[in-house]
Structure 1
Amino acid sequence: MAYQYSGTGQQSVAELQSLTTFIGDPLFNHSDAISFSHTWDQRTLTLICRSYLKRVKSRAPRLRPQNSKYLESLITDIIESIFKDDIATSFNMTPYHEFWKSPNGHSIEVFSEAYSSPKMIETYAKINDLPREAGDNLERVVTSLMMWPDATHLVSFGNISVWPFYHYFGNQSKYTQGKPTASVCHHVTYSHSKK
């Protein structure tokens, strides 16, 4: 309890409970805690992460040309199925500029969501400026696709990895995307590499 109420006193009950989980772990070594230095460990962790990111960048598999058509078909299927689903009602289909008026009267543009980014606004305007065929009164929207791969090591020995390609829609709020329970991440495909 002294830990929870010391310092700023802002530690939550959950934080205190998680601390007991670490201390109670069989791998916890009391002598490691005595020599702990946040500054040193944070610097070490940063160096490890930077090294990992360089390795991921250099080892990410490239799609073969014959696979790009297949990938395009998969992405199209995902887009169609999501836009037919009720979840699409939570999407922002019309990008907009958002401003904050400061106390001294200055108007400052706010950039907070992918669907209100300058690129989305520009693309939306271009698509809606295209000529229409007679009788075409359908709404035109921009679908923002956010995709990236991530490596997953498969075996304890050797260098076999699988690279899942993840896909999110930028038309959806980042707050919804940040909730694992929202199930808004789509696995597009998997690639593998063996070095």
Structure 2
Amino acid sequence: MRAAGVRSGIFEEHGNLVWSYRLVDPLMWPRRQDSEFTLAASCQLVRACFSRSWKPVEVHFEHAGPRDRTALEQIFRAPLKFGESANRIVISGEDAARLYRQEDAALAAVLERHIADIAGSAPSPDTISEKVRSLIGIYIGHRPITVAAIAADLNCAPRTLQRRLSGEGTSLRDLVREYRRTLASLHLRDGDATMKGIAATLGYADETVFWRARRSWR
């Protein structure tokens, strides 16, 4: 999903659900206050609606970690990771599948239809490139980004995806490289990130591979 300069989405990884959230506009990055408030409010909402004792498996932040993490650790009650490719809340599959309470079936049906109507009327990216960029932003550094995987998410054949991207003058490889280059420049500008950390964030095997990639960007 993309709206008002934000990309967000949810995917499954190792049996857990991962909700990803990041700001799109480089001028707004990394917006520590926004990221920390949004993720904290989301966790508190889950606790208010389902279980006061709930806690995520992990919480990820795009920005570098503060010197004192005590307040954040008390809020999230979970391991915190900084310098990631997106802000994320990792939820255990068991918690996601657990039935916490029984809702009014008729009311739930009405709400589900209303949500479906809202989702159907929400603006979506005009081009296939924009849709692919949104998925790259969600998955990079956390999940393999392949033509087959992206095509499956977009409900089309891999060859169809390649053809449509080619029609827009680009390719998945070009879009991933562009995204990595932009994200790398943001982390380098932040000043606190290490080359090793940035390489991991961008999904590279190690610093050497990242260094070689940077040379090809110039």
- The bucket for the TM-score relative to the shorter chain is under 0.3
Larger Rg: 1
Q: Which has the higher helix share?
A: 2
TM-score (normalizing by structure 1): 0.22
Structure with greater proportional strand content: 1
